């Protein structure tokens, strides 16, 4: 009794309105405001960086989709000695065109209009646009036609932005003869030495084939591994070891996978160098651990009551897994696959190790043909001395980002479709 | 504390084995399942100690007892659901229609179809009501035509007393039903594979009193068509729905007999203490 009495005396009633308490409250609110401000600052900073990146990229890159053109008037009837339009229709058109000597016709026409040095104003491969125009519409060989041909790279750079002094002078001389048009070459050509003739199609196709191989190898193996490890494998030291190994694999630097691909696929199996097949296999090795880890988490998240329900009415283990667990885990597995594939799409280092940095001027038509992929193409172009490649590099980055966005959008669409409403 | 409980239970177990009532006299209907001297171990820990019980066709058998007494563990031995726990080990003999269900030639998948189970928490598949019921018959190949399957779905839902409520929305998700309806859906799902025994593991513990009353009514109606074993920690429920009651305590079977006898005139001190609410 005595002790409780003294306790009550010792402890004064809490003064909620007192100065000390008010100060504590103010401090608490200040801390809250500080934290909010810091968080907001972090978001603004990262959004700023992203916006800066995108603006620079789009600003530079969009120019890569256009080309500077000069008009050339070609008097086909005089030049060809009266070739008929019908010659360039159908299957023989290509062969007849070759004998026609379009290049000389174009060069002569250019020299007539722009003087002896006139050909230097034009991109070396510009005459191919004329060939394409003839095949597209053979009627023009019977008329006198004005065609717009791509200018030489330095003039292109000087016209669109700042170029070398001599090129700027030429631009001033040519004046309003110059114009810009959509650069079809960039979408349908492959790598070239002349920046006016380079295109992204070869790398894009290479990326598509490589991603396809990565997906068909890594997805089933990764998902089955995840299912086996979660649903079948006994929990013992051996499976623990496997789990640790998979987690480590997911963290291994990608260039190591390149070395592995070089040693195993090229040297041991003797697969062709620089092929999409080898690239896909190497990237599959890199992507698989990510799919296994996310797959295991997704499988773990399926409520055990669903497994019990299925087992309770006599479903076999496999029926439980494939009728119930997998469908419910699929959205989560797909999320992991998106992350893994996005990483694989942007990967350069392992592909350099297996020789995918070659100059590929024709798009690959199969999985064992020499190919390159978008990030490697960007890497190669960024290394070029010619200034014309700068905007092409940015344009290629835009294409890569669009590819990535398309892939992710597709995966998110699939994920939402499979998502089960509870 | 644990040691104390262990020592008391082990010292008492011989007398309990003697006093437990393993067999039920004839006239209680045909024997469906028998268990003899069943022990269950989780690793080194013994969860069930020497339990012998008979389950008959015409009676609803209730397992009662305080939490952690092993009644659910024992129930899960009857359709080998304990197989899914790697460290669980079952010894002794459990038979269904005279067949040893732990014999190597016993097909677990078929056993679980013959001995259906309803769980504590309603666990319909996240599929349509129709697919929830049709899943079992589909995987066991019980219906050869679409009409057969429709028929099975309808009769199962009727038996589970759910048909009127859901007949117009069979394609709605099973998870959109109320808790009581979900549990009756789970019962219908178990009935759909035409089992001989239905095990119910505290089927009403997640339900409100009205839904509980419906389930209890349903158990009455199903009695005789299926041998029913129900685990419950609600003694009034055991008294209401069952004809035989087994009282478990600390992994041992303390008393097993006619429900009315257990509740009015228990032979064991522990049973008396439990049903009068002195512990549990």
Query: Average pLDDT of each block of 10 consecutive residues along chain A (422 residues)?
Result: 58 85 94 97 96 88 86 82 76 78 84 82 83 82 84 86 81 82 86 86 93 95 95 90 92 92 93 92 94 94 92 92 93 89 91 88 88 92 87 90 89 80 52
Average pLDDT over residues B125-137: 93
Q: What is the sign, positive or negative, of the torsion defined by CA atoms of A125, A126, A130, A133? A: positive
Average pLDDT over residues B146-151: 93
Residues of B in contact with A310 (CB under 8 A): 125, 135
> Are the C-beta atoms of B94 and B100 separated by less than 8 Å?
yes
Q: Write out the two tokens for A124.
A: 């070396």
- The answer to the question of residue B262 being in a domain is yes
Average pLDDT over residues B135-156: 92
Domains identified in chain B, total number? 1
Domains of chain A (ranges; CATH) run: 62-182 (no CATH), 201-418 (1.10.3720.10)
Residues of A in contact with B205 (CB under 8 A): none
Contact B136 A314 (CB under 8 A): yes
Summarize pLDDT for B100-123 with one digit per residue, the tens. Answer: 999 988 899 999 999 999 999 999
Question: Given this model, what pLDDT does residue A259 score?
Answer: 94
- The answer to the question of residue B162 being in a domain is yes
- Show which residues on chain B lie within 8 Å of chain A, measured between beta carbons: 79, 81, 84, 86, 109-114, 116-119, 121, 123-126, 135-136, 139-140, 173, 175, 186, 189-190, 192-193
Question: Given this model, what pLDDT does residue A421 score?
Answer: 56
End-to-end Cα spacing for chain A: 59
- The answer to the question of residue B269 being in a domain is yes
- The answer to the question of residue B190 being in a domain is yes
B79, B123, B173 member nearest A309 (Cβ): B123
Q: Write out the two tokens for A395.
A: 């344009």
- The answer to the question of residue B3 being in a domain is no
Angle separating helix axes A276-300 and A201-227, nearest 10 degrees = 40
- The answer to the question of residue B34 being in a domain is no
Average pLDDT over residues B161-165: 90
Closest C-alpha to B193, from B170, B171, B226: B226
Residues of B in contact with A323 (CB under 8 A): 135, 139
Contacts of A278 (CB under 8 A, 6+ apart): A261, A265, A266, A271, A272, A354, A356
Give the Cα separation of A371 and A274 in Å (integer): 6
Summarize pLDDT for B226-247 with one digit per residue, the tens. Answer: 999 999 988 889 999 999 999 9
Residues of B in contact with A314 (CB under 8 A): 109-114, 136, 139-140, 193
The answer, yes or no, to whether residue B203 has pLDDT greater than 80, is yes
Contact B112 A306 (CB under 8 A): no
Residues of A in contact with B140 (CB under 8 A): 314
The answer, yes or no, to whether residue B7 has pLDDT greater than 80, is no
Summarize pLDDT for B172-188 with one digit per residue, the tens. Answer: 999 999 989 999 999 99
- DSSP states of A216-264 as a string? HHHHHHHHHHHHIIIIIS--SHHHHHHHHHHHHHHHS-HHHHHHHHIII
Q: Write out the two tokens for A264.
A: 């195993």
> What pTM value is reported for the model?
0.80
- Alpha carbon of B250: minimum distance to chain A alpha carbons (Å): 25
Interface test mutation site (partner A, options B117, B118, B203, max chain A beta carbons within 10 A): B117
Contacts of A60 (CB under 8 A, 6+ apart): A390, A391, A394, A395
Backbone phi, psi, residue A346, to 5° = -90, 5
Supply the CATH number for residue B193's domain.
3.40.50.300
Give the Cα separation of B95 and B99 in Å (integer): 5
Task: Starting at the earlier edge strand, list the strands of the sheet with B244-249.
Answer: B99-100, B88-96, B31-42, B45-56, B252-258, B244-249, B60-64, B227-231, B197-201, B115-118
- The answer to the question of residue B31 being in a domain is no
Q: Write out the two tokens for A18.
A: 């007192």
Residues of B in contact with A318 (CB under 8 A): none
Pairing of strands B31-42, B45-56: antiparallel
Summarize pLDDT for B59-96 with one digit per residue, the tens. Answer: 899 999 888 888 999 999 999 998 888 888 999 999 99
Closest C-alpha to B78, from B51, B105, B112: B112
- The residue range of the domain holding B245 is 56-79+104-275
SS3 A372: coil
In terms of CA atoms, which chain A residue is nearest residue B126? A422
The answer, yes or no, to whether residue B23 has pLDDT greater than 70, is no
**Count of CB atoms situated within 10 Å of the CB of A91:** 6
- The answer to the question of residue B222 being in a domain is yes
Give the Cα separation of A203 and B104 in Å (integer): 59
Given pLDDT bands bounded at 50, 70 and 90, which one contains residue B131? very high
The answer, yes or no, to whether residue B11 has pLDDT greater than 80, is no
C-alpha distances out from residue A70 to A157, B24, B83, B114, Å: 14, 105, 80, 85
Interface test mutation site (partner A, options B112, B134, B197, max chain A beta carbons within 10 A): B112
């Amino acid at each position: 009794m005595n002790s409780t009495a003294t306790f009550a005396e010792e402890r004064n009633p809490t003064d909620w309105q007192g100065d000390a308490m008010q100060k504590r409250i103010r401090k608490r609110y200040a801390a809250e405001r500080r934290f909010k401000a810091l968080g907001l600052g972090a978001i603004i900073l990262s959004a700023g960086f992203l916006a800066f990146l995108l603006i620079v990229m789009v600003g530079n890159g969009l120019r890569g989709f256009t080309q500077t053109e000069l008009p050339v008037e070609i008097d086909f009837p005089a030049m060809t000695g009266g070739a008929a339009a019908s010659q360039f229709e159908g299957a023989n058109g290509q062969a007849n065109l070759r004998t026609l000597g379009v290049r000389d016709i174009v060069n002569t026409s250019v020299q007539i209009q722009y003087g002896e040095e006139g050909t230097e104003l034009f991109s070396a491969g510009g005459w191919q646009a004329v060939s394409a125009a003839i095949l597209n519409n053979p009627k023009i060989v019977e008329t006198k036609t004005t065609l717009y041909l791509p200018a030489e790279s330095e003039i292109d750079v000087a016209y669109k932005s700042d170029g070398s002094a001599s090129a700027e002078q030429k631009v001033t001389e040519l004046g309003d003869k110059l114009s810009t048009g959509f650069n079809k070459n960039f979408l349908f050509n492959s790598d070239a030495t002349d920046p006016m003739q380079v295109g992204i199609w070869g790398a894009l196709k290479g990326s598509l084939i490589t991603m396809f191989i990565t997906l068909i190898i890594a997805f089933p193996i990764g998902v089955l591994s995840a299912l086996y490890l979660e649903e079948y494998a006994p929990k013992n030291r051996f499976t623990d070891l496997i789990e640790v190994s998979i987690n480590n694999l997911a963290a291994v630097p990608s260039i190591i996978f390149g070395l592995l691909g070089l040693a195993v696929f090229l040297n041991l199996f003797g697969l062709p160098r620089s092929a999409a097949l080898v690239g896909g296999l190497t990237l599959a090795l890199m992507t698989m651990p990510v799919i296994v880890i996310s797959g295991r988490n997704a499988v773990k998240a399926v409520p055990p009551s669903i497994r019990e329900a299925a087992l309770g009415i006599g479903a076999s283990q496999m029926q439980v897994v494939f009728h119930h667990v997998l469908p419910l885990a699929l959205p989560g597995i797909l999320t992991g696959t998106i992350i893994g594939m996005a990483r694989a799409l942007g990967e350069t280092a392992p592909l350099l190790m297996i020789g995918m940095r070659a100059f590929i001027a024709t798009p690959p038509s199969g999985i064992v043909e020499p190919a390159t992929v978008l990030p490697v193409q960007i890497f190669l172009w960024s290394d070029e001395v010619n200034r014309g490649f700068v905007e092409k590099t940015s344009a290629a980055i835009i294409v890569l980002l669009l590819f990535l966005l398309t892939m992710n959008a597709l995966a998110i669409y699939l994920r939402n479709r499979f998502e089960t409403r509870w | 504390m644990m040691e104390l409980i262990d020592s008391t239970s082990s010292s008492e177990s011989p007398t309990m084995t003697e006093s437990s009532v393993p067999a039920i006299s004839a006239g209680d209907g045909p024997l469906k399942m028998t268990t003899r001297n069943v022990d269950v171990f989780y690793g080194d820990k013994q969860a069930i100690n020497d339990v012998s019980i008979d389950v008959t066709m015409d009676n609803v058998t209730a397992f009662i007892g305080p939490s952690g007494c092993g009644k659910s563990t024992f129930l899960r031995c009857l359709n080998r659901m304990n197989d899914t726990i790697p460290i669980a080990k079952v010894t002794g003999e459990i038979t269904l229609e005279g067949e040893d269900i732990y014999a190597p030639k016993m097909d677990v998948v078929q056993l679980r179809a013959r001995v259906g189970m309803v769980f504590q928490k309603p666990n319909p598949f996240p599929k349509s009501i129709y697919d929830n019921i049709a899943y079992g018959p589909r995987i066991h190949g019980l219906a050869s035509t679409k009409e057969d399957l429709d028929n099975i779905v309808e009769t199962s839902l009727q038996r589970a007393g759910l048909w009127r409520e859901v007949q117009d929305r069979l394609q709605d998700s099973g998870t959109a039903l109320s808790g009581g309806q979900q549990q009756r859906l789970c019962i219908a799902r178990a009935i759909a594979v035409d089992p001989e025994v239905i095990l119910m593991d505290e089927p009403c513990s997640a339900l409100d009193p009205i839904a509980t009353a419906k389930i209890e009514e349903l158990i009455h109606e199903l009695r005789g068509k299926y041998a029913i074993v129900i685990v419950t920690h609600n003694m009034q429920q055991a008294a209401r729905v069952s004809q035989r009651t087994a009282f478990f305590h600390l992994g041992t079977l303390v008393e097993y007999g006619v429900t009315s006898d257990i509740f009015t005139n228990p032979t064991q001190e522990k049973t008396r203490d439990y049903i009068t609410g002195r512990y549990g």
